[in-house]
């Protein structure tokens, strides 16, 4: 009886439990899951408190504790962190939950204003929103230095900015300091090329910019982008901006970028064949010949080039004949050999859409090893049509002729064509179709190419390039006429 009565009481209770939703029944331990849905968090972490306070005076501690309004993490802290004055030992930076702690490892100098620039290192955990341009400052003395220095860094060869550069201030008057010593103050460059030093003391400094390698903050190689100011700079309350022109020293000038009057310079030819193995080289005693033809077509803007893998010892122009498609010899063409004796150029007044034959005798050339081509041969080719090119007329306003301007046509950051400008208008009846960036090179030494600077002993600035803020699209069989106003 007792069991039957208990069953009558418990059964309805079990039925109620079974009918309850699982979320009400499962009341044990569970993971904390962020709510689903809702707007995405797009705000960076917000600083709630800092100890010692920002811009504190008479700082004597070893730790700085920053607290934010949400959980934070650090990203590439050693790459992002800039401390000025530059310490011998960088501080350590750690994050935990909502807190970032900076531990000073170096001995702080008396009566000195320090700044700690975190770059893009601090971000929230959920969405990775970055706290940008966050700098903490303090002074070990009674006052906070308040002078500034601002400016811009331009890559001289392109006229563009490079945000991977850093700008440095050296108190030393010795040029070698940029190699031997770390700078006193460091600032980063933004995507527009601008930089700004703040909280500087009075005094004069040597000003440099470079692409840092491994956090060394020094000029280690002439392959680094590097810039220098002609004169020492002095911080002020409202300083006049300084412009630096960065360059990379080059062992040899890139002759492909040299400006040429008249028709556009020759484009690079077809790819060279793979280099033969040592065994093949021993067996192959033939003189190897290449041309600048593409699909057996000659660009009307080029002359015909014969290229050899080894220098020529002998070249007999009487044993090579230019003929029409009927093999009737033509006249009024001539040959020139370059200084390397590896290229012979055949110059002729080519007619559009016309077939030609080049009859090459086996004895026409011999290299320094006595090798000749395998056999007498005929090279057949055709010139392109004029309709495959576009006409270009550019009218340039505010062009400074005192600086020897050279108009550059650029594709994929490489100069394809370059022309010295003698007047305000550039005109080409035939121009290779495509999309081009335009630049003006101020060619100080009139050699047709951009020249880098030289700091040590010479203090020579690089030549400047002014980018034109518009693209030129040249269409085939089209008159491409554009007016361009340059910045003064």
- Number of domains forming the structure of the chain: 4
Is residue 94 located within the same domain as residue 153?
A: no
Is residue 224 located within the same domain as residue 302?
A: no
Inside any domain, residue 126:
yes
CA distances from 49 to 65, 69, 70, 122 (A): 8, 9, 12, 15
Inside any domain, residue 8:
no
Query: What are the residues facing 410 on neighbouring strands?
Result: 415, 437
Is residue 124 located within the same domain as residue 61?
A: yes
Inside any domain, residue 1:
no
> The domain spanning residue 132 has which CATH number?
2.60.40.1220
221, 246, 271 — which closes off a domain? 246
Is residue 478 located within the same domain as residue 409?
A: yes
Query: What are the residues facing 320 on neighbouring strands?
Result: 360
> The domain spanning residue 365 has which CATH number?
2.60.40.3710
139, 170, 203 — which closes off a domain? 139
Is residue 80 located within the same domain as residue 160?
A: no
**Looking at residue 25, what is its pLDDT?**
41
**Looking at residue 32, what is its pLDDT?**
39
Full domain range(s) for residue 238: 147-246
Inside any domain, residue 377:
yes
Is residue 133 located within the same domain as residue 153?
A: no
pLDDT digits (tens, 9 = 90+) for 141-162: 999 999 999 999 999 999 999 9
∠ Cα 6 7 10 (to 5°): 85
Is residue 154 located within the same domain as residue 237?
A: yes
Inside any domain, residue 28:
no
The whole-model pTM stands at: 0.79
- Where is average pLDDT lowest: 168-177, 258-267, 382-391, 435-444? 258-267
Inside any domain, residue 360:
yes
Inside any domain, residue 255:
no
Is residue 368 located within the same domain as residue 433?
A: no
Is residue 379 located within the same domain as residue 395?
A: no
Residue 253: is its pLDDT beyond 90? no
DSSP-derived secondary structure for 230-297: SS-B--BSSPPPEEEEEB---SS--GGG---SSSPPPPP-SPPPPPPPHHHHHH--SPPEEES-BTTE
Is residue 316 located within the same domain as residue 351?
A: yes
Is residue 416 located within the same domain as residue 473?
A: yes
SS3 52: coil
Is residue 374 located within the same domain as residue 404?
A: no
Q: What percent of the chain has pLDDT over 70?
A: 85
pLDDT digits (tens, 9 = 90+) for 286-323: 899 999 999 999 999 999 999 999 999 999 999 999 99
Residue 273: is its pLDDT beyond 70? no
**Looking at residue 1, what is its pLDDT?**
46
Inside any domain, residue 19:
no
Contact by Cβ (8 Å): 257, 409: no
> The domain spanning residue 478 has which CATH number?
2.60.40.1120
> The domain spanning residue 191 has which CATH number?
2.60.40.10
pLDDT digits (tens, 9 = 90+) for 333-348: 999 999 999 999 999 9
Region 69-92: what's the mean pLDDT? 95
**Looking at residue 488, what is its pLDDT?**
73
**Looking at residue 41, what is its pLDDT?**
76
111, 139, 167 — which closes off a domain? 139
Mean pLDDT rounded to a whole number for the chain: 88
């Amino acid at each position: 009886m007792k069991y039957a009565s208990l069953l009558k009481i418990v059964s309805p209770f079990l039925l109620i439990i079974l009918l309850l939703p699982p979320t009400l029944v499962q009341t044990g331990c569970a993971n904390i899951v962020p709510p689903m849905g809702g707007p995405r968090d797009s705000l960076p972490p917000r600083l709630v408190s800092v100890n010692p306070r920002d811009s504190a005076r008479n700082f004597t501690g070893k730790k700085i504790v920053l607290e934010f309004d949400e959980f934070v993490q650090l990203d590439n802290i050693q790459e992002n962190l800039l401390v000025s004055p530059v310490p011998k030992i960088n501080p350590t930076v750690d994050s935990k939950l909502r807190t970032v702690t900076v531990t000073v490892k170096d001995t702080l100098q008396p009566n000195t204003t320090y700044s700690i620039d975190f770059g893009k290192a601090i971000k929230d955990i959920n969405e990775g929103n970055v706290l940008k341009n966050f700098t903490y400052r303090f002074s070990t003395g009674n006052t906070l230095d308040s002078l500034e220095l601002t400016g811009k860094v331009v890559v001289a060869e392109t006229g563009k900015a490079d945000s991977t550069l850093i700008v440095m201030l050296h108190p030393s008057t010795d040029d070698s300091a940029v190699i031997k010593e770390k700078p006193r103050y460091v600032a980063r460059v933004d995507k527009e090329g601008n930089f700004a030093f703040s909280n500087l003391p009075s005094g004069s400094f040597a000003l440099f910019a470079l692409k840092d390698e491994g956090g060394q903050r020094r000029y280690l190689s002439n392959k680094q982008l590097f810039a220098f100011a002609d004169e020492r700079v002095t911080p002020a309350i409202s300083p006049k901006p300084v412009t630096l022109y960065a360059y990379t020293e080059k062992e040899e000038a890139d002759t492909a970028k040299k400006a040429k009057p008249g028709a556009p310079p020759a484009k690079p030819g077809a790819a060279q064949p793979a280099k033969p193995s040592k065994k093949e080289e021993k067996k192959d005693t033939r003189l190897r010949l290449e041309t600048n033809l593409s699909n057996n077509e000659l660009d009307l803007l080029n002359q015909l080039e014969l290229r050899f893998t080894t220098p020529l010892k002998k070249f007999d122009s009487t044993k090579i004949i230019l003929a029409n498609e009927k093999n009737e010899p033509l006249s009024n063409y001539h040959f020139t050999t370059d200084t390397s004796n590896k290229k012979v150029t055949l110059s002729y007044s080519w007619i559009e859409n016309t077939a030609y034959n080049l009859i090459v005798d086996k004895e026409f050339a011999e290299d320094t090893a006595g090798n000749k081509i395998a056999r007498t041969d005929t090279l057949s080719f055709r010139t392109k049509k004029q309709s495959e090119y576009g006409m270009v007329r550019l009218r340039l306003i505010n062009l400074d002729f005192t600086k020897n301007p050279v108009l550059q046509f650029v594709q994929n950051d490489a100069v394809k064509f370059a022309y010295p400008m003698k007047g305000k208008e550039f005109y080409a009846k035939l121009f290779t179709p495509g999309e081009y960036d335009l630049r003006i090179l101020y060619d100080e030494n009139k050699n047709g190419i951009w020249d880098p600077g030289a700091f040590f002993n010479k203090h020579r600035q690089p030549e400047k390039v002014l980018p034109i803020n518009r693209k030129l699209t040249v269409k085939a069989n089209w008159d491409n006429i554009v007016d361009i106003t340059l910045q003064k």
